[in-house]
Structure 1
Amino acid sequence: MKIRHDLAISVSVTSQEPFVSKNLFIPLILPIAVSIIAGGTAGYFATNERIHDLKKSNGSTREIIDPDSLRDAILAQPEIVEEAFYALQAKRQAEADAAKRGALVDSKGALFNAGQDPVIGADDAPFVLVEFFDYNCAYCKIASQWLRTALKENPGKIKVILKDFPILEGRSKGSRESSEAAWAARLQGKDKYETFHFALMDARGGFDSERIDEIAANSGLDVARLRADMKVNAKAFNALIKENMSLARSLGIDGTPAFITGNTFITGADTKKLQSLLDAAIAEDS
């Protein structure tokens, strides 16, 4: 967690003694509180200097609480510091969510117009889901179990746009190669792609070339053609991954799985939330 050092203290003055409003005090107290309690003498003088700056910036009509009074207040109610952490965390989360919503508006074309992204399900489905995934991601594998069941139980109701996002490459073996193989598999037909996609999701452990070829063969793919298509389309695949990485970055996505439907983000394998959104979309379409 980052600690801000540029926050002022809001104080209401009703008499000779300053009155600190707790609601205003909570989200703003943390930087100075930590300085005073944890910083000892150095923290005290650093805080004095900061308060002097605050006095100058706020003008002569504003009263600023002094370090001794602030320290006494915190020691009398130490839970204020904990509350400040939570308030600051909530504020940062709200800011991040707002930024995501703005980025989502700007990115809807790239997200929901599949382009070269693989698609499974019905093109005209009422529930459209975008997934950023990595074949080595354990939580992606959990989410894929829900997705496969949902597709079977709700024919014609779900469309999934799959954004290859091999973020675990370098930490888990074969994240990028398995994505490249699956992307090439779509050229052999939508059904074979879907079978291969879920077979890769079912697999445990990393992937080497031999294992990818074995899973491909068991999925009904022509492995020689698959490898040829991977070679021919390597440049296009690299461009796709670069585009997906850039899109994910603009949306604040830094892990997998990440889902988007409409204006809603779902991070992690939150299958209850996904099911709730699916049910709502189907009910609205009925």
Structure 2
Amino acid sequence: MKQTLKMATVALAMSTALFSTQAGAAGAEVFTPEQQARIGEIAADYLVAHPDVLIEVSKKLQARQQAMQQQTYVQSALKTHRLLMQLDGVPVKGPADSKVIVTEFFDYECIACSMMAPVMEKVVAANAGVRFAFRDWTIFAGRYPESQQASRRGLNIYRKLGADAYMAFHNGIYRTGHNEGKLTTEDIEKVATAAGAGPSSGDDDAAADQLIESNSSLAELLGLTGTPGIIVMPVENATAQNTTILPGVVSESVLQQAIERAAGNG
């Protein structure tokens, strides 16, 4: 409710500023200070008596802010398109000649990523012709070392065993239900073994860390503020109309619609 009141106040302030500008342009004071104060009281009383007005104003302001943020995200994605298409070492699932690529920035300790994981798993299974890229962005590593540890293990599994083993590991980590500090080394090794990997040697950790750092820089260029961050766009001829950025957890239908748009079917 506090946020709603704040947004309604912003809207009222914007309207007042516009009114003042118009009055000044006309070269005359339309209302006296006393009258303006009384109008403010009447408006405040009306908003208290009709809270639905506040809710409607809040919704419109939020929709406008989200639309503006989406435009900013999309422009950033278009500027970094070439970098998003550089997939050396990045785990990918799907055909190399796909016309659409879905990129997810994620962290294994992120609870929102855990919520998004089964949705992503279903969408991957339903879109065999689409390429999915999984970019480790270990934003929780400073607090939970297992974030970096799990990403290193996954990247090394992908490098040695390929996409299917990687997807088994990736989805397996999320199926543990352990995140926000609950993921353990035992969890990671148990899932890695189930995916067909042998004991971790740590030999490739430097290469994994370098890729993770590259992903972090790319996420910052995109303007992402957290995980998950999903970019859906064509491999070629990406435009503002066929590119979608999904910052956060979304439904299967929303993600599918973004894919259809990128494919030219939406």
The AA in structure 2 aligned to 1:268 is V
* Amino acid in the other structure paired with 1:271: E
Compute the TM-score of the two structures, normalised by the length of structure 1: 0.67
Query: 2:240 maps to which residue?
Result: none
- Tell me the TM-score normalised to structure 2 length: 0.72
Query: How many residues align structurally?
Result: 240
- Which residue of 231, 237, 256 corresponds with 1:275? 256
Q: Report 1:6-85 matches (<5 A).
A: 28-30=11-13, 58=24, 61=27, 63=29, 66=33, 67-75=36-44, 77-78=46-47, 79=50, 84-85=57-58
Q: 1:195 Cα deviation (Å)?
A: 2.4
Aligned to 1:200: 173
1:243: which partner in 2? 214
Report the Cα distance in structure 1 between the residues aligned to 2:260 and 2:65, rounded to whole angstroms. Answer: 31
- Tell me the CA shift for residue 270 of structure 1: 2.0
Cα contact 1:26–1:81 (8 A) shared by 2: no
The answer to which of 125-134 and 66-75 deviates more is 66-75
3-state SS of paired residue (1:228):
coil
Q: Distance in 1 between matches of 2:75 and 2:193?
A: 43
Q: Which residue of 2 aligns with 1:253?
A: 224
Q: Deviations over 1:72-101 (max 9, x none)?
A: 441353256665544544443333222222
Following superposition, the deviation at residue 237 of structure 1 comes to 3.4
> Which has the larger displacement, 193-202 or 129-138?
193-202
> Contact (CA 8 Å) 1:27, 1:88: kept in 2 or not?
no
Letter in 2 for 1:274: L
Q: For 2:57 and 2:44, how far apart are their aligned partners in 1?
A: 14
SS of 1:215's partner is helix
Q: 1:210 is matched with which residue?
A: 186
Say which is worse superposed, 82-91 or 211-220, in terms of deviation.
82-91
- Give the CA deviation at 1:131: 0.5
User: Which secondary structure does the structure 1 equivalent of 2:131 belong to?
Assistant: strand
1:265 equivalenced with 2:236 (yes/no)? no
Q: Secondary structure at the match of 1:168?
A: coil
Q: Does 1:220 align with 2:189?
A: no
C-alpha distance after superposition, 1:21-63 (max 9, x if no partner): xxxx996424798xxxxxxxxxxxxxxxx99xx67x9556264
Please, which moves more after superposition, 83-92 or 186-195? 83-92
| Residues 150, 212 of structure 1: alpha-carbon distance in 2 compared, 3 angstrom cutoff | same
Between the aligned partners of 1:153 and 1:32, the Cα distance in structure 2 is: 48
> Residue 110 of structure 1 aligns with which residue?
83
Of structures 1 and 2, the one scoring higher in RCO (CA 8 A, sep 6+) is 2
Is residue 139–residue 269 contact of structure 1 (8 Å, CA) maintained in 2? no
Further displaced range: 236-245 or 214-223: 236-245
Mapping of residues 82-231 of structure 1, within 5 Å = 84-155=57-128, 157-170=129-142, 174-190=146-162, 191-205=164-178, 206-225=182-201, 227-230=202-205
Cα RMSD (Å) of the superposition? Answer: 3.7
Counterpart Cα distance in 1 of 2:127 and 2:69: 34
Distance in structure 2 (CA, Å) of the matches to 1:90 and 1:64:
33
Aligned residues of 2:5 and 2:54 also touching (Cα < 8 A) = no
Contact persistence 2:95–2:130 (CA under 8 A) = yes
In structure 2, distance between residues paired with 1:168 and 1:92: 27
Deviations 1:89-127 (A, max 9, x none): 444333322222221221212223323322122111233
Structure 1: runs of 5+ lacking an equivalent: 5-24, 34-49
Q: 1:83 to 1:74 in 2, by over 3 A?
A: farther
Paired with 1:256 and 1:181, the residues of 2 have a C-alpha distance of 19
Moved more, 97-106 or 83-92: 83-92
Partner residue, 1:36: none
- CA distance in 1 between counterparts of 2:15 and 2:262 reads 48
